[in-house]
């Protein structure tokens, strides 16, 4: 189903700024990443999104393609970012069918609610593997193509490049590790690793023209994170904890993506763009889902009332 432009992109961006460019995105069928890719496609790019669920990934790819007449959007399912060979095969297919890779979004992630008591070793490892190893694999599989794109699309910061921009990667992270958050230890540790990876990429590949940055969304409405990890009755209270008094929108994350990937982001490298309405500066000691600190942890109760949880044996 085609979405109105206002759902995923502001009117400030000029059409065609990403003409003849290709974006590759892991986790591209998710609500945030699909909006990021849709915005890029609307502005001229072709795209390849990958994910584990074949039907969902292919369906979302077809939907994203409606953002612009003539757009080419590949949806490659059965891709596990923890497996480098699986990911590289998807990148190779993207390059073969679309001609290259100019922009990358490393957006695949895993999340659920669990205290450290209830968090098994395997569950912790799973999130680390998806977020950290998956982001590293994404980088390794795409960096040869990003280097090629960066060499073609250099900018001196003064004269607009006649070929536009390229050679840029965004890692999708979070804000919970800035202060720590109960029931999210596994995610906090993983996202800290993702941030560090991005910073290292900026330092090592900046001299060769690649920029690497982090986008850190806060609470974004109508996304898997909010729908799976928060109880419906707690949403109003959570709004009050955000200084701007509301949840963000996927459009606002997509706009930040266009900013970094476009000519406006030429000198933005090794940075974190936080899109959260200053929510992280007002983090409470609960997970934002109605589980009161420290009573809930002391009780030893398991998390209930949300779909995004796993029963884990205690260790």
Tens of pLDDT, residues 88-144: 999 999 999 999 999 999 999 998 888 899 999 999 999 999 999 999 999 999 999
pLDDT computed for residue 197 by the predictor: 98
Q: Is 213's pLDDT higher than 70? A: yes
CATH topology of domain 14-299: Rossmann fold (3.40.50)
Q: Is 255's pLDDT higher than 80? A: yes
Question: Could you please report the per-residue DSSP string of 73-89?
Answer: EEEE-S--TT-HHHHHH
Per the CB < 8 A criterion, the answer to whether 129 and 113 are in contact is no
Task: Name residues whose C-beta falls within 8 Å of residue 165's C-beta, 6 or more positions apart in sequence.
Answer: 21, 102, 153, 155, 261, 262, 263, 265, 266
Instruction: Give the mean pLDDT of 264-287.
Output: 87
Delimit the domains of the chain by residue range: 14-299
135 is catalytic: no
Nearest 5°: phi and psi at 48? -135, 120
pLDDT computed for residue 297 by the predictor: 72
Q: Is 151's pLDDT higher than 90? A: yes
Give me the chain's average pLDDT, please: 90
Per the CB < 8 A criterion, the answer to whether 139 and 87 are in contact is no
Annotated active-site residue in 34, 135, 155, 173:
173
Q: Is 301's pLDDT higher than 90? A: no
**Residue 212 is inside which H or E element, if any?**
strand 211-217
191 is catalytic: yes
Lowest mean pLDDT among 119-133, 252-266, 274-288: 274-288
Residue 116, SS3? coil
Q: Is 149's pLDDT higher than 90? A: yes
Annotated active-site residue in 34, 191, 212, 289:
191
Assign 147 a pLDDT band (cuts: 50, 70, 90). very high
Task: Name residues whose C-beta falls within 8 Å of residue 217's C-beta, 6 or more positions apart in sequence.
Answer: 32, 172, 174, 175, 248, 253, 275, 276
């Amino acid at each position: 189903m085609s979405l109105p432009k206002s759902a995923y992109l502001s009117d400030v961006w000029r059409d065609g700024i990403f003409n003849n460019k290709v974006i590759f995105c892991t986790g591209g069928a998710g609500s945030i990443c699909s909006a990021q890719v849709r915005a890029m496609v609307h502005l001229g790019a072709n795209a390849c999104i990958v994910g584990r669920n074949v039907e969902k990934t292919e369906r979302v790819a077809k939907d994203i393609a409606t953002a612009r007449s003539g757009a080419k959007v590949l949806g490659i399912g059965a891709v596990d970012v923890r497996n480098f060979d699986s990911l590289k095969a998807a990148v190779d297919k993207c390059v073969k069918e679309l001609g290259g890779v100019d922009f990358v979004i490393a957006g695949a992630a895993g999340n659920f609610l669990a205290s450290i008591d209830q968090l098994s070793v395997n569950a912790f490892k799973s999130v680390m593997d998806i977020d950290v190893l998956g982001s590293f694999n994404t980088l390794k599989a795409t960096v040869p193509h990003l280097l090629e794109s960066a060499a073609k699309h250099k900018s001196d910061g003064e004269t607009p490049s006649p070929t536009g921009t390229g050679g840029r990667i965004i890692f999708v992270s979070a804000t919970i590790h800035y202060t720590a958050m109960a029931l999210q230890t596994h995610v906090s540790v993983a996202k800290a690793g993702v941030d560090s990876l991005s910073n290292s990429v900026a330092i090592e590949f900046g001299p060769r023209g690649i920029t690497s940055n982090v986008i850190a969304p806060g609470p974004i409405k109508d996304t898997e994170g909010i729908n799976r990890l928060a109880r419906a009755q707690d949403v109003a209270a959570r709004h009050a904890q955000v200084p701007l008094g509301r949840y963000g929108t996927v459009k606002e994350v997509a706009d930040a993506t266009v900013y970094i990937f476009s000519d406006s982001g030429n000198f933005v490298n090794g940075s974190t763009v936080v899109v959260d309405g200053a929510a992280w500066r007002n983090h409470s000691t609960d997970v934002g889902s109605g589980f009161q600190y420290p009573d809930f942890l002391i009780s030893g109760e398991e998390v209930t009332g949300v779909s995004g949880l796993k029963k884990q044996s205690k260790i």
